Amino acid sequence: CSLNSTVCQTRTTWKNEQMKYDNDTLYYEE
């Protein structure tokens, strides 16, 4: 995940417009 992320999770967890892909991880940015 990026250092800018608040929450990091694996790719198969969340799918949302507020989430972005970073390699094989999803990270949520406020």
Summarize pLDDT for 1-30 with one digit per residue, the tens: 555 556 655 555 555 555 555 555 555 554
**C-alpha gyration radius of the chain:** 8
Burial class (CB in 10 A: 0-12, 13-18, 19+), 16: exposed
Predicted pLDDT at 24: 53
Domains contained in the chain, number: 1
CB 17 within 8 A of CB 10: no
pTM of the shown model = 0.12
Predicted pLDDT at 30: 46
- Expressed as residue numbers, the domain containing 1 is 1-30
Helix, strand or coil for residue 21? Answer: strand
